[in-house]
Chains A and B, each alone.
Chain A
Amino acid sequence: MTQLSERPQQRVVTADGLRVAGLQKSYGPVPVLHGVDLAVPAGALTAVLGRSGCGKTTLLRLVAGFDRPDAGTVSIGGREVAGPGGVASPEDRRIGYVTQEGNLFPHLTVAANVAFGLPRRARRARFGVSALLELVGLEPSYAKRYPHELSGGQQQRVALARALAPEPGILLLDEPFSSLDVELRESTRRAVAAALAAAGTTAVLVTHDQAEALSLATRVAVMRDGRIVQEASPAQLYRHPVDRAVAAFVGDVVVLPATLRGGVAECALGGLRVAAALADGPATVLVRPEQIALDAGDGGVPAHVLDIEYYGHDAVVRLALGAAVEVTARCPGYALPAVGERVRLAVQGEVGVEVTGAPVP
């Protein structure tokens, strides 16, 4: 299919695939979005991560045009589609939309579904349907089947192909994997990510699953209570979360009070390196369990093992430092301590710091 493969060369590089500024939305007396700012780079997959009720689906619907914002602007590919000057309807925005259930048209075959958004002549010719099906990892023979004859994962793939067919400026995915069985989820995720990368379409994926966001996306925006609280690469987000809530959301975290002095945080686990240059004073450090090593030798902090949860490939170990402080550590499954054993702890790598008021660079 020539169009899609030619696209990277032909595309005019715009600054952002999507830019949202100051977006506000309330439903009646209940405010849902409190001023959302988001810039999504073109050609890549960005995840919006947040719990249920944080407003991420509302954000997506506003970007798609199914609802009007109370304030703020939305620009897709440099063109303003919602703002003080007016609001474009969804059919004019050149978006692709994949819902949680896929929502294939039950009365149409797979091929007719995929071709739905194409102009009438292209639709009749089933233009490019086989190529799109291959892109999402389905055999072209599936074209004649009906949606109810497909598995959930296959339906989602077809939904993606359908959304890609009219070459949208941006693709919006609303928790597309959460209704799938766990076994299907992984394979479908990988297929979708590969298809998006091959197509080179700007994509925004909304999800509550942090593993999904961290593994699929090149940028992740964490949303809480109607605001974006941190937007960064997955690694940056994981290692340097802006506050303990974000830290706890994307993984397990050990929270310890500390004092900053000259770039080093002194806490119960010793002096820890922090990434940012911050002013001296009290702070809270956010340590990941896998950063805590149990075989530090004499320089380490003494602790004894309270209990172990064994998962096969690794284990979560609960340790007590003295009387008051408890931490959890993760260690590989082949090097487990015994319960009650005395060990020495050390933290590897930089840790995140939560400082109230001070922004993280």
Chain B
Amino acid sequence: MTSTAPRPVATLRRPYPPVRLAAAVAVAALTLVPLGYVLIFVVAEGPSQAADLLLRPRVGELLRNTTALTVTGCLACAVLGTGAAWLVERTTLPGRRVWTALMAAPLAVPAFVNSYGWVSVTASVQGFGGAVLITTMSYYPLVYLPVAAVLRGMDPAFEDLSRALGNGPWRTFFRVVLPQLRPALLGGVLLVGLHLLAEYGALQALRFPTFTTAIFDLFESTFNGPASTMLSGVLVLGCLLLLVGELRLAGRARVARVGGGVARAAVPHRLGARTPLALLGMAALAVLALGVPLGSLGRWLVVGSSTEFPIGLLATTTATTIGLGVAGAAATCLLALPVAWLSIRHPGLVSRLLERSTYIAGSLPGIVVALALVTLSVGYLPTIYQTATLLVAAYVILFMPRAMVSLRAALAQVPPELDDSARALGARPAAVLWRVTLPLVARGLGAGAALVFLAVVTELTATLLLAPIGTATLATEFWSNSSSLAYGAAAPYALLMIIVSAPAAWLLTRQSRREVVA
């Protein structure tokens, strides 16, 4: 039900409400703290110092590894995610509902648990090949979900026309379907790339050195030494490159509403004799992505010699994790509100800049953000150093984009005329927000909160650096056990992490049914 009258240009030129603008600027400034820190540091060190620290064969090796992993991983996820989405959504593959759930399920299994599952079974998975395999298995749902959503809502008329013009099915796919998939595909690939740049736990267990693992190693040797911050600078550059590339390629179509109704549903392609092959392929994917880690987890729970169930410790760790998850989700959603509101209600250069800056900051790896916050708080803000406040601040910076996407989508569905109606009825701007806007975005807010919760539960590197003394989360306890190769002791923590993050992962799949998530 969209407005049929052309909206006057007026609404784009209203002056920004001052309080909300100030709040949004404050939030954007907070999220830019790590980026600013890295940039200032790199500049202050000077080019000769930077050259010393960066122009080494080791850095060249890290660069090769990181680039190779990112490019290969992104490609693999793109192909797998799109292929699986096509099979599930557009062919006569049986068991569609089951496959939909299975394809999205790896979201509930953190990548470092995935690699633990593999490494505890066989050592041959170490190195580049294993790294690509495991990270692809962990992150292909980030491509699968948005692509599947677009395929579901796509108008089949274009494909029919293409076939009528004589193009075979493959040509039709590449020339007609793929261009329509481009924004969703590129958005998903961007997310995969950013995850790969930030990945630590999985790659450390696989003995595959990248920038992030090297930064962590340096941290363990020098705390906040210059070398680690320099490497962070290179990593930041990589992230920015990815962001710019995605912007160029995908254009401005970030969030599109799928729900206007398709003229008619697409006729699924018949697989016919190829059905068993397709089923085999999908089953193989599910086994690799889910079966091996979950199976290995189960085995260690039952058989592992160091398996123990210290109920008290498990309970407190779970409680801490959930508590941090809830606090992180609440803080992030609250702080995302002014920026999201401004970007939807007052689209313009300033609000776009503010929104983009939070997105940029959220693309930085956890280690960079944590390192920056550690150094800043140790030097300038000792009162919050080693407190849960600082940790939650890191979560806010890292995961604001997730809350923003949901919040913006929900806000976009609330017509601005509702605000006008409420104001005409005598409600002050604050009352309009409280009585009209917030109740209507509650659902989107909830989805965003769930996304952030999922991210906090599975977050490792920032928590390792910033957690207050005596605070342990499921992720850090799992990590300390699995690093000592006490696989059995690590297993209960992994299981609890999966259980705790499963509901949020489910919500993520439901949300992506309604729209394309960039």
Measured between alpha carbons, how far is A175 from B310 in the docked complex, in Å? 69
A30 at the interface (CB under 8 A from B): yes
Q: For window 28-73 of chain A, which residues contact chain B by CB distance below 8 Å? A: 28, 30, 32, 52-53, 57-58, 61, 64, 66-67
1/0 per residue, CB under 8 A from A, across B176-201: the answer is 00000000000000000000000000
A91-B428, A116-B425, A117-B425 as given contacts; A103 in contact with B415, CB under 8 Å: yes
Check A100/B9 contact, CB under 8 A, given A106-B440, A166-B426.
Answer: no
B366-395 CB mask vs A (1 if < 8 Å, else 0) is 000000000000000000000000000000
Q: Is the CB of A100 within 8 A of B10?
A: no
A160-185 CB mask vs B (1 if < 8 Å, else 0) is: 00110010000010110011000000
Contact in complex: B417, A99 (CB < 8 Å): yes
In the complex, the answer to whether B425 meets A162 with C-beta atoms within 8 Å is yes
Q: Does B48 contact A (CB under 8 A)?
A: no
A89 at interface (Cβ–Cβ under 8 A)?
Answer: yes
- Please indicate the chain A residues that have their CB under 8 angstroms from the CB of B440 in the complex: 105-107
13 other A-B residue contacts (CB within 8 Å) besides A52-B5, A58-B10, A178-B4: A27-B8, A27-B10, A30-B9, A53-B6, A57-B5, A57-B8, A66-B423, A90-B420, A96-B424, A101-B1, A116-B425, A117-B425, A174-B5
B299 partner residues in chain A, CB cutoff 8 A: none
Say yes or no: A64-B424 contact (C-beta < 8 A), given A99-B417, A100-B5, A101-B415: yes
Q: Is the CB of A179 within 8 A of B417?
A: no
A117 with B426: CB separation less than 8 A: yes
Contacts of B420 in A (CB 8 A): 64, 66, 90, 97, 99, 103
Contact (Cβ within 8 A) B4 A58: no
Interface hub of B3, B10, B427 (most chain A Cβ within 10 A): B10
Cα A107 to Cα B6 with chains together (Å):
26
Q: Which residues of A contact B418 (CB under 8 A)?
A: 103, 105
Q: How far is the CA of A101 from the CA of B428 in the complex (A)?
A: 22
Beyond A99-B417, A100-B4, A101-B3, whether A91 also contacts B427 by CB under 8 A is yes
Please tell me if B167 contacts chain A, counting CB pairs below 8 Å. Answer: no
Task: Check A95 for interface membership: any CB of B closer than 8 A.
Answer: yes
Residues of A contacting B428 in the complex (Cβ-Cβ under 8 angstroms) = 91
Which among B4, B6, B9, B423 is the interface contact of A91 at CB below 8 angstroms?
B423
User: Could you tell me if A179 and B10 are in contact, using CB atoms closer than 8 angstroms?
Assistant: no
Quick one: given A100-B3, A101-B3, A103-B415, are A89 and B423 in contact (CB under 8 Å)?
A: yes
Q: With a CB–CB cut-off of 8 A, which chain A residues contact B8?
A: 27, 32, 57-58, 61
A105 neighbours in B (Cβ, 8 Å): 418, 421-422, 436, 440
Offer 21 A-B interface pairs, CB within 8 angstroms, sorted by A. A27-B8, A27-B9, A57-B8, A61-B8, A90-B420, A91-B424, A91-B427, A96-B424, A97-B421, A100-B4, A100-B5, A101-B3, A103-B417, A105-B440, A106-B440, A116-B422, A116-B435, A117-B425, A117-B427, A163-B424, A178-B5
B13 within 8 A of partner (CB): yes
Residues of A within 8 A of B (CB): 27-28, 30, 32, 52-53, 57-58, 61, 64, 66-67, 89-91, 94-97, 99-101, 103, 105-107, 116-117, 159, 162-163, 166, 172, 174-175, 178-179
State the CA gap A106–B426 with chains docked (Å).
18
CB neighbours (8 Å) of B207 from chain A are none
Q: Is B95 an interface residue (CB 8 A)?
A: no
A residues less than 8 Å from B435 (CB atoms)? 116
B13 and A97 contacting across the interface, CB-CB below 8 Å: no
Inter-chain contacts of A117 with B (CB < 8 A): 425-427
Which one of A27, A57, A95, A178 lies within 8 Å of B424 (CB-CB)?
A95
A103 touches B421 (CB 8 A): yes
Residues of A near B439 (CB, < 8 A) are 107
CB of B2 to closest CB in A, whole Å: 9
Contacts of B10 in A (CB 8 A): 27, 58, 61, 66-67
- A334 and B122 CA atoms in complex are apart in Å by 96
CA of A234 to CA of B435, assembled, Å: 41
Q: Closest approach, in angstroms, between the C-beta of B331 and any C-beta of chain A?
A: 25
State how many angstroms separate the Cβ of A233 from the closest Cβ of chain B.
27
Contact with A along B2-42 (1 / 0, CB 8 A): 01111011100110000000000000000000000000000
Could you tell me the distance between the alpha carbons of A96 and B421 in the complex, rounded to whole angstroms?
A: 8
How far is B4's CA from A174's CA once the two chains are assembled, in angstroms? 12
Chain B residues with CB under 8 A of A91: 423-428
Q: Which of B5, B13, B425 contacts A166 (CB 8 A)?
A: B425
Closest to A64 in B: B424
Say yes or no: A90 contacts B423, CB within 8 Å. yes
Q: B414-446 toward A: CB 8 Å interface, digit per residue (1/0)? A: 010110111111111000000110011000000
CB-nearest residue of chain B to A95: B424
Closest chain B residue to A94 by CB distance? Answer: B426
Q: A residues within 8 A CB of B421?
A: 97, 99, 103, 105, 159, 162
Determine how close the nearest CB of chain A comes to the CB of B139; give it in whole angstroms. 37
Q: Are B422 and A67 in contact, CB atoms less than 8 angstroms apart? A: no
Tell me the minimal C-beta distance from A25 to chain B in angstroms.
8
Q: How far is the CA of A105 from the CA of B426 in the complex (A)?
A: 15
Bound-state CA distance A166–B417 (Å) is: 19
- The 3 residue pairs across chains A and B that have the minimum distance between CB atoms: A117-B425, A97-B424, A90-B423
Q: Which residues of B contact A166 (CB under 8 A)?
A: 425-426
Distance of B329 from chain A, by nearest CB (Å): 22
Task: Output the least CB separation between A215 and chain B (Å).
Answer: 21
When distances are taken between beta carbons in the complex, the residues of chain A under 8 Å from B5 are 52, 57, 100, 174-175, 178
Q: Are A28's CB and B13's CB within 8 A?
A: yes
Inter-chain contacts of A97 with B (CB < 8 A): 420-421, 424-425
| Residue on B nearest A89 in the bound complex, by CB | B423
Contact of A163 among B4, B6, B423, B425 (CB under 8 A): B425
Closest to B413 in A: A106
Q: Is A67 a contact partner of B6 (Cβ separation < 8 A)?
A: no
CB distance from A315 to the nearest CB of B (A): 33
Chain A residues with CB under 8 A of B13: 27-28
A61→B417 CA distance, assembly (Å): 11
Contacting residues, chain B, for A28 (C-beta < 8 A) = 9, 13
Q: Of all chain A residues, which has the CB nearest B428?
A: A91
Q: Which residues of A contact B417 (CB under 8 A)?
A: 99, 101, 103
* Min distance, Cβ B419 to any Cβ of chain A, angstroms: 9
Shortest distance between the CB of B17 and any CB in chain A (Å): 11
**Residues of B with C-beta under 8 A to A100:** 3-5
Smallest CB-CB separation from A165: which chain B residue? Answer: B425
The minimal Cβ–Cβ distance linking B437 to chain A, given in whole angstroms, is: 10
CB-defined interface of B121-132 with A at 8 Å, one 1/0 digit per residue?
A: 000000000000
Bound form: Cα–Cα A99–B419 in Å: 11
